[in-house]
Amino acid sequence: MRKINLLQQPVASDPKLQELFTELSDTRFALAQAYTRFDNTTEPELVDACIFELNALQSRYNYLLRLVKERGGIAAAKIYSEGATVWV
């Protein structure tokens, strides 16, 4: 079996797609930070704020993922949504 690099061709040839992947990565990082804040918060008002922040970031992530798929980076988007590479 061999490993295929699905990100190489589509992202390199399309600067807009590359920008979308950067935003997607940044949003994924922000989501991880928001989950950490949520896990460490005990004040009820702050828990509510964390929940709103998580919902907003998740919506942004889904929006960016949809844009990547529409742009033709479906195989690359699969890697981002699953967090693993695909083997053929």
pLDDT digits (tens, 9 = 90+) for 21-73: 899 999 999 999 999 999 999 999 999 999 999 999 999 999 999 998 888 75
Domain membership of residue 55 (yes or no) is yes
| pTM for the whole structure | 0.67
Domains: count for the chain: 1
Higher pLDDT, 13 or 55: 55
Q: Are the CB atoms for 38 and 8 separated by under 8 Å?
A: no
Domain membership of residue 88 (yes or no) is no
CATH, residue 73: 1.20.58
Q: Quick one: pLDDT at residue 56? A: 96
Domain membership of residue 1 (yes or no) is no
- Domain residues for the domain of 77 are 8-82
Domain membership of residue 64 (yes or no) is yes
Domain membership of residue 73 (yes or no) is yes
Q: Quick one: pLDDT at residue 80? A: 55
Domain membership of residue 87 (yes or no) is no
